[in-house]
Chain A
Amino acid sequence: MKSFKFIFFLLFCIFFNLNNVFGENAKVDEISKNLRCLICQGQSVYDSQSEFALSVKTLILIKLESGSSEKDIYDFLKSKYGDWIVYEPEFNNYTLILWILPLFLFIFGGFLIARKVIINKR
């Protein structure tokens, strides 16, 4: 029921603000570039003109005008739609390996090379 109200509210916003809301706010663009459009295939909210994307853009604008910070907006959207919506995976237990593994492999590779070069020197 809550989400129903939320969607209704957003649709309301769209119909009344459609023409003067978008495109003129650089901050909205910046944030919406880091968000996935959930109903599109492989498009960001910024790139999409779908109803979902438009409503999220409106939401960002309203949040910004009411003084929310960038982080607040991301957190709000994450709590609403899950981590799937943001393109930058946050660093936590789930994503530890994601962030560390490539760096570990780099160091490991460096170690192998160093060992080879040192052995060859002897």
Chain B
Amino acid sequence: MLNLIGNYSLVFALITSLILAVVSFINFKSNKSLDFNIFGAVVLQFTLICVSFFTLIFAFIYSDFNNAAVYYNSHTSKPLFYKISGTWGNHEGSLLLWVLVLSLFTLIFLFKSKKLFNSFRILTIFFQQIITSGFLFFILLLSNPFQLILPTPNEGLGLNPILQDPALAIHPPILYLGYVGSSIIFSSSLAALTCKYVNKDWAAEIKKWSLISWIFLTIGIMLGSIWAYYELGWGGFWFWDPVENVSLMPWFCLTALLHCSSVLEKRATLQSWTIILALCTFILSMSGTFLVRSGILNSVHTFANDPERGVFVLIFLTFLVLISLFLYFKFNNFESKPKSFFLSRETAIIMNNWFMMYFLAVVLVGTVYPIFLEVFTAAKISVGPPYFNQLIIPFLIPFLVLMALGTKLDWIKTKKFKLNLNRIAILILSILISFFIVRNLNTKVLFLSVLISASLYLLLISIIDLKNQKFKWSQRISHLAFSILVISIILNSIFSEEFSVNMKVGQEKIISNSTINFEKISKQEVDNYTSIKAEIEIKQNENKLIFYPELRLYKTPETITSEADIKTNLFNDNLLVVNYLKGSDYLNIRYQKKPFMFLIWFSAVMLGLGGILGLRDKLK
């Protein structure tokens, strides 16, 4: 019964969507106003998709194994929280969430854009409906979450245990809010192009939407990386894994768009470029879904492999790209730009975009190139952290310096670029501090000290700018957050220490200056898994730390996960994780000292806060 309701409300949502697309196009052609019918239909569509989504949640809560998605991804012994999060922990459910968010954003756009140009609004709705109906077709034909299984099984197969985690439970919805937010940016850019509405009002409107997407994307990426940090048991937080890269690409694009749309808003220039960025952001989000869901990427995150789905998304994506290209070349004739000078805020923002696009290019090429190479030459290569680090880190140095200097420039023309004594003093101070930091290292001293100087310089300038009333709070906070993030990541990667050793209960070992004592091990049955807790003491000089890392043996499906024990303080994380060694009574013990981890998470949250402040300013 539940399944039928869910399924048919999706079918009706699709019909509504198609009707809406036709009606809004006719209204646009005949210059009619956005009438009540369109409003009603959008509300109806949202309601239908909501109904469908909630039926799926109920099916998960009540473990209705009649439903295939529930059968494959749930189990009666699972805690309620993970039953609910299991709804979007699988391919079908996650797409339903995509569409839900999509229709929610369409609804919000409709309510919040009343002051804007009428045909622009209608066209935006039209393009939104094309996207929505594409996704609904995809769900109904190729990944229906309401498929039935007969006869009804008694028990489900269970959710992959490494996905049973609070951070990961909320990570996909938040990331999707970010991805899907960019759909409005996409639709409204196409609409604005077609009805010649690429102006300051439009820039202000998409700035709101890009802020919303950007906030969710930032937080979503952070949650994913927190999860990887403590759940995957490698003690790292970023692996340049294709799926991570895929979420980072729209982030670079959005960050560029955020800065660029201010130029359009203030100076009515850079129209084409803003449009290109706006279109690319959504295309990248879509390709992200395509790359992840088609199973093309070989990575930890790919749980759903199905080539048919890949082909569908690929065709749909090509279709959207072709529409975008067609409309872009047809309507891309903007009025000549007003003059701007070399030393101006505009130039600084263009520089920001230049670097953002470069970082995007590195990540895009590094992620996609191996796929193409394999298709065309059958040669299989890995593009991993060394590639990204080598191409990105050197470019950070000019980027950070430009970021520190760029905010000092005025719009249109900076009268005099004063060589402020303070600024030189800060530069010298950061160089001195960085020498002090790297003096004990023996590799790449020169490069590292320049890198650290640049990031310290940005940090100090951003701290001083906190008092500067000239800038908005959103800018002050997010720039400071970014500088803290960069410097914490750099220092973290330089000063992390670790060792790994295999030990039995009761053993004691000495490695360099630490004594490791494997004290005890205890076993306990919890909810849906067996927990094996070890007690390990690590002594370093005077310091003594006792860790309780855990191994969890899940029965459905049979998996072992290891839970790290992390002792966090403001400047240092101590992390210890144990791993099971097959066929022996030894455990692999891995101890890591990771400086500034807290600051990395803190600054990512602060970055999001900067976005929220910006959004508050815009909504006032």
> What residues of chain A have their CB less than 8 Å away from a CB belonging to chain B?
18-19, 22-24, 29, 34, 36, 41-44, 47, 49, 51, 54, 82-89, 94-95, 97-99, 101-103, 105-106, 109-110, 113, 116-117, 120-121
Contact = CB atoms under 8 A, between A and B. Distances in A.
B357 A117 contact: no
Contact of B361 (A22, A36, A105): A105
Given A36-B382, A106-B361, A117-B347, A41 B500 contact: no
Given A22-B502, A109-B358, A89 B381 contact: yes
Contacts of B428: none
B108 interface: no
Contact of A120 (B341, B386, B395): B341
Contacts of B234: 43-44, 47
Nearest to A105: B361
Contacts of A98: 365-366, 369, 373, 383, 387
Contact of A109 (B241, B340, B354): B354
A97 B382 CA distance: 14
A106 B355 CA distance: 8
Contacts of B380: 82-84
Contacts of A121: 341-342
Interface of A is mostly: helix
A85 B586 contact: no
A83 B381 contact: yes
B620 interface: no
B382 A87 contact: yes
Contacts of B444: none
A18 B584 contact: yes
B474 to A, nearest CB: 26
A12 to B, nearest CB: 14
A106 B298 contact: no
24 contacts: A18-B502, A19-B502, A22-B501, A23-B501, A34-B386, A41-B298, A41-B299, A42-B299, A49-B579, A49-B581, A83-B382, A87-B384, A88-B384, A88-B386, A88-B387, A89-B383, A94-B379, A97-B369, A101-B361, A102-B391, A105-B358, A106-B358, A120-B337, A121-B341
B164 to A, nearest CB: 18
Closest 3 CB pairs of A and B: A87-B384, A88-B386, A42-B300
Given A87-B384, A113-B354, A23 B502 contact: yes
A83 B500 CA distance: 27
Interface in B289-346: 298-302, 337, 339-342
Nearest to A98: B369
Contacts of A89: 381-383, 387
A7 to B, nearest CB: 16
A36 to B, nearest CB: 5
A42 B162 CA distance: 14
A24 B501 CA distance: 7
Contacts of A49: 579-582, 588
A121 B413 CA distance: 12
Given A34-B384, A89-B387, A120-B340, 7 more contacts: A22-B500, A44-B234, A47-B234, A49-B581, A86-B382, A89-B383, A106-B354
Contacts of A41: 298-300, 302
Given A42-B298, A110-B354, A102 B377 contact: no
A23 to B, nearest CB: 4
B409 interface: no
Contacts of A99: 391
B239 interface: yes
B362 interface: yes
A56 to B, nearest CB: 14
A105 B380 CA distance: 25
Nearest to A19: B502
B526 interface: no
A51 B302 CA distance: 22
B425 interface: no
Nearest to A26: B499
A34 B341 CA distance: 47
Contacts of A109: 354, 357-358
